[in-house]
Amino acid sequence: MLRRISEQIARHRIFLITAHERPDGDALGSELALYHMLRNLGKEVAIYNQDPTPANYLFLPGSDRIIRELPPLDSFEVAFVLDCSELDRVGGEAARIGTIPNLVNIDHHISNGGFCEVRMIDPQASSTGELIFRLASDIGFEVTGEMATCLYTAILTDTGGFRYGNTRQGTLLAAAELVASGADPQRISENIYEADPPARIRLLAATLPTLALEEGGRVGSLVVTQKALADAGALPEYTEGFVDLPRSIRGVEISIIYAELPDGRFKLSLRSKGKVNVERVARVFGGGGHMNAAGCRVEGELPEVRRRVIEAIRASAAEA
Protein backbone atom coordinates (compact mmCIF):
# COMPACT_ATOMS: atom_id res chain seq x y z
CA MET A 1 0.00 0.00 0.00
CA LEU A 2 2.84 2.28 0.84
CA ARG A 3 4.24 1.63 -2.63
CA ARG A 4 0.97 2.75 -4.16
CA ILE A 5 1.02 5.98 -2.17
CA SER A 6 4.61 6.73 -3.14
CA GLU A 7 3.69 6.00 -6.76
CA GLN A 8 0.87 8.53 -6.54
CA ILE A 9 3.38 11.07 -5.29
CA ALA A 10 6.04 10.24 -7.88
CA ARG A 11 3.67 10.21 -10.86
CA HIS A 12 1.72 13.40 -10.21
CA ARG A 13 2.40 17.08 -9.82
CA ILE A 14 -0.73 18.84 -8.48
CA PHE A 15 -2.20 17.80 -5.14
CA LEU A 16 -5.06 18.74 -2.87
CA ILE A 17 -4.81 17.98 0.85
CA THR A 18 -7.89 18.02 3.06
CA ALA A 19 -9.13 16.67 6.40
CA HIS A 20 -12.28 16.53 8.51
CA GLU A 21 -14.58 19.44 9.34
CA ARG A 22 -13.78 21.34 12.53
CA PRO A 23 -10.10 20.37 12.16
CA ASP A 24 -8.16 19.40 15.29
CA GLY A 25 -4.43 19.25 15.99
CA ASP A 26 -4.05 15.90 14.26
CA ALA A 27 -5.93 17.00 11.14
CA LEU A 28 -4.00 20.28 10.85
CA GLY A 29 -0.59 18.92 11.82
CA SER A 30 -0.95 16.04 9.36
CA GLU A 31 -2.12 18.27 6.51
CA LEU A 32 0.67 20.78 7.01
CA ALA A 33 3.40 18.16 7.41
CA LEU A 34 2.32 16.48 4.18
CA TYR A 35 2.14 19.92 2.54
CA HIS A 36 5.76 20.67 3.48
CA MET A 37 6.88 17.25 2.30
CA LEU A 38 5.17 17.54 -1.08
CA ARG A 39 6.41 21.11 -1.57
CA ASN A 40 9.94 19.94 -0.81
CA LEU A 41 9.48 17.31 -3.50
CA GLY A 42 8.66 20.11 -5.95
CA LYS A 43 4.88 19.59 -6.11
CA GLU A 44 2.09 22.11 -6.38
CA VAL A 45 -0.13 21.73 -3.32
CA ALA A 46 -3.34 23.29 -1.99
CA ILE A 47 -4.76 22.61 1.48
CA TYR A 48 -8.52 22.96 1.86
CA ASN A 49 -10.55 22.83 5.09
CA GLN A 50 -14.23 23.58 5.42
CA ASP A 51 -13.81 25.19 8.84
CA PRO A 52 -11.34 27.75 10.19
CA THR A 53 -8.09 26.88 11.93
CA PRO A 54 -8.51 27.35 15.71
CA ALA A 55 -6.30 30.23 16.92
CA ASN A 56 -4.07 27.97 19.02
CA TYR A 57 -2.92 26.15 15.86
CA LEU A 58 -2.05 29.28 13.86
CA PHE A 59 1.58 28.92 15.02
CA LEU A 60 1.93 25.82 12.85
CA PRO A 61 4.24 26.62 9.94
CA GLY A 62 2.20 26.97 6.75
CA SER A 63 -1.16 27.46 8.49
CA ASP A 64 -1.60 30.68 6.50
CA ARG A 65 -1.66 28.59 3.32
CA ILE A 66 -4.88 26.78 4.21
CA ILE A 67 -7.81 27.83 2.02
CA ARG A 68 -11.53 27.55 2.76
CA GLU A 69 -12.87 27.96 -0.80
CA LEU A 70 -12.25 25.09 -3.14
CA PRO A 71 -10.51 26.30 -6.31
CA PRO A 72 -11.64 24.85 -9.67
CA LEU A 73 -10.87 21.17 -9.37
CA ASP A 74 -9.90 20.25 -12.95
CA SER A 75 -6.18 20.65 -12.38
CA PHE A 76 -5.88 18.45 -9.28
CA GLU A 77 -4.49 15.01 -9.97
CA VAL A 78 -4.52 13.59 -6.44
CA ALA A 79 -6.49 14.40 -3.27
CA PHE A 80 -5.10 13.31 0.10
CA VAL A 81 -7.99 12.90 2.56
CA LEU A 82 -6.49 12.82 6.04
CA ASP A 83 -7.85 11.77 9.43
CA CYS A 84 -11.26 10.91 7.91
CA SER A 85 -13.01 7.57 8.32
CA GLU A 86 -15.43 8.49 5.53
CA LEU A 87 -15.19 10.98 2.69
CA ASP A 88 -18.23 12.81 4.09
CA ARG A 89 -16.21 13.87 7.12
CA VAL A 90 -14.56 16.61 5.01
CA GLY A 91 -17.90 18.44 5.04
CA GLY A 92 -20.15 19.94 2.39
CA GLU A 93 -17.59 19.66 -0.45
CA ALA A 94 -17.07 15.91 -0.02
CA ALA A 95 -18.85 14.97 -3.25
CA ARG A 96 -16.83 17.46 -5.34
CA ILE A 97 -13.55 16.36 -3.79
CA GLY A 98 -14.58 12.80 -4.60
CA THR A 99 -14.41 13.66 -8.32
CA ILE A 100 -10.62 14.23 -8.22
CA PRO A 101 -9.19 11.28 -10.22
CA ASN A 102 -6.95 9.81 -7.49
CA LEU A 103 -7.95 9.71 -3.84
CA VAL A 104 -5.56 8.69 -1.07
CA ASN A 105 -6.89 8.19 2.46
CA ILE A 106 -4.52 8.22 5.44
CA ASP A 107 -6.33 7.57 8.70
CA HIS A 108 -6.37 5.76 12.06
CA HIS A 109 -10.07 5.40 12.92
CA ILE A 110 -11.39 1.90 13.71
CA SER A 111 -14.62 2.80 11.97
CA ASN A 112 -12.81 3.34 8.63
CA GLY A 113 -14.51 1.18 6.03
CA GLY A 114 -12.01 1.95 3.24
CA PHE A 115 -13.79 4.48 1.02
CA CYS A 116 -11.04 4.62 -1.58
CA GLU A 117 -8.60 2.18 -3.06
CA VAL A 118 -5.27 3.77 -2.19
CA ARG A 119 -5.08 4.08 1.55
CA MET A 120 -2.94 3.77 4.65
CA ILE A 121 -5.17 2.88 7.58
CA ASP A 122 -3.90 1.73 10.93
CA PRO A 123 -6.25 1.89 13.91
CA GLN A 124 -3.25 1.03 16.11
CA ALA A 125 -1.59 4.32 15.19
CA SER A 126 -1.98 7.10 17.75
CA SER A 127 -2.77 9.66 15.11
CA THR A 128 -2.76 10.38 11.42
CA GLY A 129 0.41 12.35 12.16
CA GLU A 130 2.15 9.15 13.26
CA LEU A 131 1.19 7.64 9.88
CA ILE A 132 2.53 10.62 7.92
CA PHE A 133 5.74 10.25 9.92
CA ARG A 134 5.86 6.57 8.92
CA LEU A 135 5.18 7.48 5.29
CA ALA A 136 8.04 10.01 5.27
CA SER A 137 10.42 7.53 6.91
CA ASP A 138 9.44 4.72 4.56
CA ILE A 139 9.98 6.76 1.42
CA GLY A 140 13.29 7.96 2.82
CA PHE A 141 12.27 11.59 3.12
CA GLU A 142 14.20 13.45 5.79
CA VAL A 143 11.75 15.23 8.10
CA THR A 144 12.38 18.99 8.14
CA GLY A 145 12.04 21.19 11.23
CA GLU A 146 8.72 22.56 9.97
CA MET A 147 7.36 19.07 9.41
CA ALA A 148 8.61 17.96 12.83
CA THR A 149 6.65 20.76 14.54
CA CYS A 150 3.48 19.80 12.65
CA LEU A 151 3.81 16.06 13.27
CA TYR A 152 4.69 16.43 16.95
CA THR A 153 1.57 18.60 17.32
CA ALA A 154 -0.57 15.94 15.63
CA ILE A 155 0.71 13.19 17.93
CA LEU A 156 0.64 15.33 21.07
CA THR A 157 -2.97 16.41 20.63
CA ASP A 158 -4.45 13.06 19.54
CA THR A 159 -2.87 11.30 22.54
CA GLY A 160 -4.18 13.97 24.93
CA GLY A 161 -0.59 14.91 25.74
CA PHE A 162 0.72 11.32 25.62
CA ARG A 163 -1.86 10.15 28.17
CA TYR A 164 -4.48 8.12 26.26
CA GLY A 165 -4.38 4.40 25.57
CA ASN A 166 -3.20 5.07 22.00
CA THR A 167 0.20 6.17 23.39
CA ARG A 168 2.37 3.22 22.44
CA GLN A 169 6.10 2.65 22.18
CA GLY A 170 6.08 3.57 18.49
CA THR A 171 4.27 6.81 19.33
CA LEU A 172 6.93 7.90 21.79
CA LEU A 173 9.75 6.79 19.49
CA ALA A 174 8.22 8.88 16.70
CA ALA A 175 7.90 11.86 19.07
CA ALA A 176 11.53 11.46 20.12
CA GLU A 177 12.68 11.44 16.50
CA LEU A 178 10.59 14.53 15.80
CA VAL A 179 12.28 16.33 18.69
CA ALA A 180 15.63 15.33 17.19
CA SER A 181 14.42 16.84 13.89
CA GLY A 182 13.60 20.17 15.48
CA ALA A 183 10.20 19.97 17.25
CA ASP A 184 10.31 21.97 20.49
CA PRO A 185 7.95 20.28 23.03
CA GLN A 186 7.72 23.24 25.39
CA ARG A 187 7.05 25.83 22.70
CA ILE A 188 4.46 23.60 21.03
CA SER A 189 2.63 22.83 24.31
CA GLU A 190 2.60 26.50 25.28
CA ASN A 191 1.04 27.46 21.95
CA ILE A 192 -1.61 24.77 22.18
CA TYR A 193 -2.46 24.55 25.87
CA GLU A 194 -1.34 27.83 27.42
CA ALA A 195 -2.55 30.47 25.02
CA ASP A 196 -6.30 30.48 25.71
CA PRO A 197 -8.39 33.59 25.19
CA PRO A 198 -10.11 34.71 28.45
CA ALA A 199 -13.49 33.92 26.84
CA ARG A 200 -12.63 30.23 26.92
CA ILE A 201 -12.27 30.30 30.69
CA ARG A 202 -15.50 32.34 30.98
CA LEU A 203 -17.26 29.69 28.92
CA LEU A 204 -15.82 26.98 31.16
CA ALA A 205 -17.09 28.81 34.23
CA ALA A 206 -20.60 28.95 32.75
CA THR A 207 -20.38 25.28 31.79
CA LEU A 208 -19.09 23.72 35.01
CA PRO A 209 -22.42 24.06 36.90
CA THR A 210 -23.93 21.67 34.32
CA LEU A 211 -21.73 18.81 35.56
CA ALA A 212 -23.86 15.69 35.92
CA LEU A 213 -22.85 12.26 37.18
CA GLU A 214 -25.03 9.35 36.12
CA GLU A 215 -25.00 5.56 36.19
CA GLY A 216 -23.60 5.46 39.70
CA GLY A 217 -20.86 7.96 38.86
CA ARG A 218 -19.58 6.05 35.83
CA VAL A 219 -20.82 8.65 33.34
CA GLY A 220 -19.91 12.31 33.72
CA SER A 221 -21.08 15.09 31.41
CA LEU A 222 -21.15 18.81 30.73
CA VAL A 223 -23.52 20.83 28.53
CA VAL A 224 -22.45 23.80 26.41
CA THR A 225 -25.40 25.79 25.11
CA GLN A 226 -25.50 28.37 22.33
CA LYS A 227 -26.49 30.90 24.98
CA ALA A 228 -23.40 30.13 27.08
CA LEU A 229 -21.24 30.56 23.97
CA ALA A 230 -22.85 33.90 23.14
CA ASP A 231 -22.73 35.20 26.74
CA ALA A 232 -19.04 34.36 27.04
CA GLY A 233 -18.24 35.73 23.58
CA ALA A 234 -16.79 32.30 22.80
CA LEU A 235 -16.26 30.36 19.58
CA PRO A 236 -17.49 26.73 19.31
CA GLU A 237 -13.87 25.53 19.13
CA TYR A 238 -13.25 26.82 22.68
CA THR A 239 -14.97 23.70 24.03
CA GLU A 240 -12.02 21.59 22.83
CA GLY A 241 -10.60 19.88 25.92
CA PHE A 242 -13.66 20.40 28.15
CA VAL A 243 -14.38 16.68 27.83
CA ASP A 244 -11.24 15.95 29.84
CA LEU A 245 -12.80 17.48 32.97
CA PRO A 246 -15.59 14.98 33.77
CA ARG A 247 -13.14 12.28 32.75
CA SER A 248 -10.69 13.50 35.39
CA ILE A 249 -13.12 12.47 38.16
CA ARG A 250 -12.31 9.20 39.94
CA GLY A 251 -14.81 6.53 38.98
CA VAL A 252 -15.93 8.25 35.79
CA GLU A 253 -15.46 5.82 32.89
CA ILE A 254 -17.30 7.78 30.20
CA SER A 255 -17.15 11.53 29.77
CA ILE A 256 -19.50 13.42 27.47
CA ILE A 257 -19.81 16.99 26.22
CA TYR A 258 -23.22 17.91 24.83
CA ALA A 259 -22.49 20.98 22.71
CA GLU A 260 -25.54 22.64 21.23
CA LEU A 261 -25.12 23.52 17.53
CA PRO A 262 -26.68 26.59 15.87
CA ASP A 263 -29.29 24.34 14.22
CA GLY A 264 -30.40 22.98 17.61
CA ARG A 265 -28.75 19.58 17.25
CA PHE A 266 -26.13 18.45 19.75
CA LYS A 267 -22.53 17.61 18.90
CA LEU A 268 -21.37 14.96 21.32
CA SER A 269 -17.75 14.41 22.29
CA LEU A 270 -17.27 11.12 24.09
CA ARG A 271 -14.19 9.89 25.95
CA SER A 272 -13.63 6.76 27.98
CA LYS A 273 -11.06 5.17 30.20
CA GLY A 274 -9.53 1.74 29.71
CA LYS A 275 -11.55 -0.90 27.90
CA VAL A 276 -14.83 1.04 27.79
CA ASN A 277 -15.76 1.53 24.12
CA VAL A 278 -17.39 4.85 23.21
CA GLU A 279 -17.02 4.33 19.47
CA ARG A 280 -19.89 1.85 19.70
CA VAL A 281 -22.03 4.48 21.42
CA ALA A 282 -21.25 7.15 18.80
CA ARG A 283 -21.98 4.70 16.01
CA VAL A 284 -25.57 4.27 17.27
CA PHE A 285 -26.08 7.93 16.28
CA GLY A 286 -24.25 7.74 12.96
CA GLY A 287 -20.93 8.98 14.34
CA GLY A 288 -17.66 7.18 14.96
CA GLY A 289 -14.09 7.56 16.14
CA HIS A 290 -11.94 5.37 18.36
CA MET A 291 -12.51 3.12 21.35
CA ASN A 292 -11.56 5.89 23.82
CA ALA A 293 -12.55 9.01 21.83
CA ALA A 294 -15.56 9.33 19.58
CA GLY A 295 -18.14 11.83 18.41
CA CYS A 296 -21.53 12.17 16.78
CA ARG A 297 -24.38 14.58 16.18
CA VAL A 298 -27.80 13.95 17.70
CA GLU A 299 -31.11 15.60 16.96
CA GLY A 300 -33.74 16.33 19.62
CA GLU A 301 -34.41 18.14 22.87
CA LEU A 302 -31.62 17.81 25.42
CA PRO A 303 -33.41 15.61 28.02
CA GLU A 304 -34.45 13.23 25.26
CA VAL A 305 -30.96 13.22 23.74
CA ARG A 306 -29.43 12.44 27.14
CA ARG A 307 -31.89 9.63 27.73
CA ARG A 308 -31.08 8.04 24.37
CA VAL A 309 -27.34 8.36 24.99
CA ILE A 310 -27.56 6.66 28.40
CA GLU A 311 -29.64 3.94 26.77
CA ALA A 312 -26.96 3.45 24.11
CA ILE A 313 -24.28 3.30 26.81
CA ARG A 314 -26.23 0.61 28.69
CA ALA A 315 -26.78 -1.39 25.50
CA SER A 316 -23.11 -1.15 24.59
CA ALA A 317 -22.08 -2.27 28.11
CA ALA A 318 -24.49 -5.21 27.93
CA GLU A 319 -22.97 -6.25 24.59
CA ALA A 320 -19.40 -6.11 25.88
Q: Which of residues 51-90 bind ligand 5GP (CB under 6 A)?
A: 85
Candidate list 256, 288, 312, 316; residue touching ligand 5GP; CB under 6 A: 288
User: How many residues form the binding site for ligand 5GP (CB under 6 A)?
Assistant: 14
Q: Which of residues 247-286 bind ligand 5GP (CB under 6 A)?
A: 269
What is the C-alpha separation between 127 and 125, in angstroms, rounded? Answer: 5
Candidate list 225, 297, 308, 310; residue touching ligand 5GP; CB under 6 A: 297
Helical (H) or strand (E) element with 221: strand 219-224
Task: Using the minimum distance from each CB to Mn ion, give the nearer residue, 146 or 158.
Answer: 158
What is the C-alpha separation between 295 and 129, in angstroms, rounded? Answer: 20
125 binds ligand 5GP (CB under 6 A): no
294 binds ligand 5GP (CB under 6 A): yes
269 binds, among ligand 5GP, Mn ion, none (CB under 5 to 8 A by kind): ligand 5GP
289 binds ligand 5GP (CB under 6 A): yes
Strand partners, 223: 258
Task: Using the minimum distance from each CB to ligand 5GP, give the nearer residue, 62 or 287.
Answer: 287
Are the C-beta atoms of 264 and 243 separated by less than 8 Å? no
Q: CB of residue 174 vs Mn ion: minimum separation in angstroms?
A: 14
Q: Which of residues 2-21 bind ligand 5GP (CB under 6 A)?
A: 20
Q: CB of residue 266 vs ligand 5GP: minimum separation in angstroms?
A: 11
Neighbours of 202 (CB within 10 A): 16
Task: Using the minimum distance from each CB to Mn ion, give the nearer residue, 126 or 191.
Answer: 126
Q: How far is CA 135 from CA 3, 6, 12, 111, 182, in A?
A: 10, 8, 17, 21, 18
What is the C-alpha separation between 207 and 307, in angstroms, rounded? Answer: 20
290 binds ligand 5GP (CB under 6 A): yes
Q: CB of residue 269 vs Mn ion: minimum separation in angstroms?
A: 13
* Among 70, 83, 86, 81, residue whose Cα is nearest residue 18: 81
CA dihedral 293, 296, 302, 303 (to 10 degrees): -70
Q: CB of residue 26 vs Mn ion: minimum separation in angstroms?
A: 3
Q: What angle do CA 154, 78, 85 make, to 5 degrees?
A: 45
Residues found near ligand 5GP in the complex (CB under 6 A): 20, 24, 85, 111, 269, 287-290, 293-297
